[in-house]
Amino acid sequence: MTTVNLDGNPIELSGNFPKAGDNAPPFTLTNSGLEEVKLDNWAGKRKILNIIPSIDTGVCAASTRKFNEQASSLDNTAVLVISADLPFAAARFCGAEGLQDVITLSSFRNYSFQQDYGVAIQDGPLAGLCARAVVVLDEDNKVLHSQLVDEIKDEPDYEAALKAL
């Protein structure tokens, strides 16, 4: 099992985190309209998967804002913010913040996403949520960059993620 940290304390994850060069696992998640969407919905586009524990935390909100800001200038790129939050919470946050360049998706119906992407938190106070990670995919869903953030409370390396595109 892989581990990350929460305030320096190890947290176990399950699944296999994708590495650069891998083909991204297919997924089905729920969008803000409560519709099931698949990775294939963004076929032919580059994708930034901003995987977060919960939009209702400061660091998750900051990464969503930062990727929204950066996404507006990226050609042929979709920024997908993925968490176990209910779609209502993510839509409420983006609406209140005026964030229009990210797409929020929820794993609440499809826990297999967390396993398939190796971000399923197994223990501790965040059990059941996603670990913080960024996975950048090309138009053919090949992984260009991946970062499983070691300390859940830290922000991801935005520059490395954007540079991979």
Q: Find where tokens 């950066």 sit.
A: 70
Rounded to an integer, what distance in angstroms lies between the CA atom of residue 120 and that of residue 2? 10
What pLDDT does 96 receive? 80
Rounded to an integer, what distance in angstroms lies between the CA atom of residue 153 and that of residue 73? 27
Rounded to an integer, what distance in angstroms lies between the CA atom of residue 165 and that of residue 160? 9
Rounded to an integer, what distance in angstroms lies between the CA atom of residue 113 and that of residue 121? 12
Helix, strand, coil % in the chain, rounded to nearest 5 = 25, 30, 45
165 residues of the chain, pLDDT tens digit each: 799 999 999 999 999 999 999 999 999 999 999 999 999 999 999 999 999 999 887 778 788 888 878 877 888 999 999 999 998 888 888 778 777 778 899 999 999 999 999 999 999 999 999 999 999 999 999 999 999 999 999 999 999 999 998
Positions annotated as catalytic residues are 60
Rounded to an integer, what distance in angstroms lies between the CA atom of residue 52 and that of residue 93? 14
pTM (2 d.p.):
0.93
What order do you get walking across the sheet with 77-83 strand by strand?
36-38, 28-31, 103-106, 77-83, 46-51, 133-137, 143-148
What pLDDT does 69 receive? 83
Tokens of 55: 């939009």
